[in-house]
Structure 1
Amino acid sequence: MEKDFIEANRYYDAQKRVKEIRGFYEHLTVYVLCNPIVIVVNYMTSPGYLWWIWSVMGWGMAIILHGLKVFSLPPFFNKKWEEKKIREILEKENQQRLESNHGNKFE
C-alpha cells in the first residue's frame, strides 16, 4: 500500500513538472509570435521612437527568469531551497506549539 502511495506521489510530481515545462514553452511561443507584431506596430505608429526594444527586453527578462525557474537552473529559489524553507517553517511552528502547550500545562 505504501508503494502505491509513493508511485502515485511520483506520478503527481512528474505531472506537475510537465505542466510547468509546458507553461514555459507556451510563454515562449506567445513571446515569439507577439513581438514581431509589436515591432510592426511601433514602426507604423511612431518610427522615430523605437519603444519596441523595451517591450522585447522586459518580456525577454521574464522569459529568462521563467525558464531558469522551470529548469531549476538558478542557485536560489530552487526545489532544494523550497524544501529547506518548508522544513524550517514547520520546525518553527512545532517549536512554537510545544512552547505554547508547555506553558498551558503548568498554569
Structure 2
Amino acid sequence: MGVIMEMNYNEDEKYLLAKKKVENIKGFYGNLTSYILVNVILIIVNLSTSPNHLWFYWPLLWWGVGVLIHGLKVFELLPSLGKDWEEKKIKELMEKEKNNKNKWQ
C-alpha cells in the first residue's frame, strides 16, 4: 500500500484531495482540447500555405508528448510522478523541516 493509504484523512481533507484531483483532470482535458484545436488549425494553415513543405508534425509531435506525459501523471499511470511519490516527498520535506527546527532549539 502507498503512503496515502497509511494516512488517516478527515472528511474535509478527503474532499480537498478529491477536489484537487478533479481540477487536475479538468486541466488535462483543457490541455488536450487546446492541443487538438490548435493542431487542426496548424495543419490547415500548413496545407493551405505551403503544402510542399510540411512542418505541422513538429508541434503535433512535441506537444503530443507533453499531453501524453500530463495524462499519465494526472491518471497516475506514471509511477515516478504519481500520488505515492508526492506523498513520500511531502513526508520527507516535513520531516526535514521538523529536524531543522529541533536543531536550533
* TM over 0.5, shorter chain: yes
Identify the residue that residue 86 of structure 1 maps to in structure 2: 90
Moved over 4 A (4+): none
- Structure 2: give runs of 5+ residues left out of the alignment: 1-8
1:11 aligned onto 2:11: no
TM-score (norm 2): 0.82
The whole-number CA distance in structure 2 between the counterparts of 1:66 and 1:27 is 9
Q: What letter corresponds to residue 74 of structure 2 in structure 1? A: V
Q: How many pairs were matched up?
A: 97
RMSD: 1.5
Per-residue CA shift, 1:18-59, capped at 9, x if unaligned? 111111112112222221210110112222221101010011
1:59 aligned onto 2:63: yes
> Which gives a bigger RCO, structure 1 or 2 (Cα 8 Å, sep 6+)?
2
Q: What letter corresponds to residue 22 of structure 2 in structure 1? A: V
| Percentage identity across paired residues of the two chains | 46
- Structure 1: give runs of 5+ residues left out of the alignment: 102-107
The whole-number CA distance in structure 2 between the counterparts of 1:8 and 1:28 is 30
1:25 aligned onto 2:29: yes
1:48 aligns with one of 34, 52, 63: 52
TM-score (norm 1): 0.81
Query: Bigger radius of gyration, 1 or 2?
Result: 1
